[in-house]
């Protein structure tokens, strides 16, 4: 296995979008944990379950106030974690051929964070890389979600690192997808 040269400025943020109950690890996180285990020990990793965060519904103030106050509570934590990471990994099952709602709510906040005075969100996001680790029943029908994430990355000028997909279902089903498990072991070591 090849090793990544560790840059002291690098850190990975894993944002999980599964809505499994607390304490029940889903397939996507299982696959992502295998990918993360290959990263150098000294490279910081932070894991956040978006479904366990208190995320407010997004309000579009673009053409009224035109800017947003600094976020508070879990939104402030998510903004800080997002800005602190060099690499963001969306750990995302496919829900209805699309982005699960906890991730969608988080993504909508990017539109607010772009308009929080002093944050410089867009320019700072352009320095980051975006990865996706996903599971669902069917790879081809995951494509719309992958396209959405790629377009989000492109909108902010992030480096798109592409998706790793495994066949999910009941918890641990992904462990039977030997191709995905093997691919996971080197997925995050690219680039
Ligand atoms: C609300 C919901 C919608 C889903 N929609 C799809 C879908 O559109 N296509 C698909 O292949 N699987 C779909 N699935 C199945 C999940 O993608 C699959 O079970 C996945 O492995 C769950 O990830 P997790 O175990 O990490 O929670 C859906 C599951 C749920 C709960």
Query: E strands within the chain?
Result: 12-16, 45-49, 87-93, 129-136, 159-167
3-state helix, strand, coil in the chain (%, to 5): 40, 20, 40
Sheet architecture: strand order including 12-16: 45-49, 12-16, 87-93, 129-136, 159-167
Q: At 3, is the pLDDT very low, low, confident or very high (cuts 50, 70, 90)?
A: very low
Q: For ligand 1, say whether the CB of 102 is within 6 Å of any of its atoms.
A: no
Question: Is residue 153 a contact partner of residue 7, using CB atoms and an 8 Å limit?
Answer: no
If you average pLDDT over residues 116-142, what whole number do you get? 98
Reference 6, options 34, 45, 32; nearest CA is 45
Task: Please work out whether the CB of residue 155 comes within 6 Å of at least one atom of ligand 1.
Answer: no
The encoded tokens of residue 37 equal 């285990």
Q: Which stretches of the chain are DSSP H helices?
A: 27-37, 73-84, 101-113, 121-125, 143-155, 178-187
Residues 29-42: tens digit of each pLDDT:
999 999 999 999 99
With 0.85 as the threshold, say if the pTM is over it.
yes
pLDDT band with cut points at 50, 70 and 90 for residue 120: very high
| CA atoms in the 13 A half-sphere facing the CB of 60 | 1
Averaged pLDDT, 84-98? 98
Residue 191 to residues 3, 130, 131, 162, Cα–Cα distance (Å)? 11, 12, 12, 12
Report whether residue 93 contacts ligand 1, using a CB cutoff of 6 Å. Answer: yes
Q: Which of 14, 139, 168 to mutate to test the pocket of ligand 1 (most atoms within 8 A of CB)?
A: 168
Mean pLDDT of 11-28: 97
Residue 138 scores a pLDDT above 80? yes
Please give the number of the atom of ligand 1 that sits closest to the Cα of 168: 21
Residue 39 CB-half CA count within 13 A: 21
For domain 12-187, give the fold.
Rossmann fold (3.40.50)
Residue 64: C-alpha distances to residues 23, 57, 60, 71, 107 (Å)? 42, 17, 8, 18, 21
């Amino acid at each position: 296995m090849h090793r990544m040269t560790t840059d002291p400025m690098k850190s990975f943020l894993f944002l999980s979008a599964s809505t499994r109950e607390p304490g029940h690890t889903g397939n996507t996180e299982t696959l992502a944990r295998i990918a993360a285990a290959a990263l150098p020990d000294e490279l910081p990793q932070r894991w956040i379950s978006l479904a366990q965060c208190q995320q407010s519904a997004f309000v579009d103030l673009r053409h009224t106030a035109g800017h947003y106050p600094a976020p508070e509570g879990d939104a402030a934590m998510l903004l800080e974690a997002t800005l602190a990471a060099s690499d963001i990994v969306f750990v995302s099952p496919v829900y209805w051929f699309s982005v699960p709602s906890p991730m969608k709510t988080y993504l909508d906040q990017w539109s607010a964070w772009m308009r929080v005075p002093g944050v410089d969100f867009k320019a700072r996001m352009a320095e980051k890389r975006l990865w996706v680790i996903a599971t669902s029943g069917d790879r081809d029908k995951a494509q719309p979600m992958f396209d959405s994430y790629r377009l989000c990355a492109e909108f902010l000028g992030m480096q798109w690192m592409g998706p790793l997909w495994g066949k999910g279902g009941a918890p641990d089903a992904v462990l039977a997808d030997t191709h995905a498990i093997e691919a996971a072991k080197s997925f995050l070591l690219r680039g």
